[in-house]
Amino acid sequence: MVESNIEKKLAKAAKRAGGMAIKLYCPNYVGMPDRIVLIAIGKVAFVEVKAPGEKPRKIQQKRRRELEALGFRVYVLDDEKEIGGIIDEIRAA
């Protein structure tokens, strides 16, 4: 499965959960996660989507550490089977 298909499934799952998975585009800040996931009521997390077995680049790992240091949850998603668990974790946070 390609990365874009996993990303679309994440967006659909977030919508079914009453939220949104917004594509994050930061042209002047390289390495930010692909999506910011917003779930009612006030639940926020970031998701870096990868093709199966692919790992984040060094700059992506750095951005993850920065976001986590600010108290945000950051997930790396490379398997569509993990989507439900990620949505549930965000909702329960």
Per-residue pLDDT of the chain (93 residues; tens, 9 = 90+): 689 999 999 999 999 999 999 999 999 999 999 999 999 989 999 999 999 999 999 999 999 999 999 999 999 999 999 999 999 999 998
pLDDT value, residue 1? 65
d(C-alpha 71, C-alpha 60), whole Å: 17
The predicted pLDDT at position 93 comes to 87
Distance CA 37, CA 22 (A): 6
Nearest to 35 by CA among 45, 27, 58: 45
Domain residue extents for the chain: 3-92
Report the run of H or E that residue 22 belongs to, with start and end: strand 20-23
Question: Is the CATH code 3.40.640.10 the one for domain 3-92?
Answer: no
User: Distances in Å between the alpha carbon of 44 and those of 6, 9, 49, 72?
Assistant: 19, 18, 16, 7
Bridge partner list, 74: 46
The model carries a pTM of: 0.94
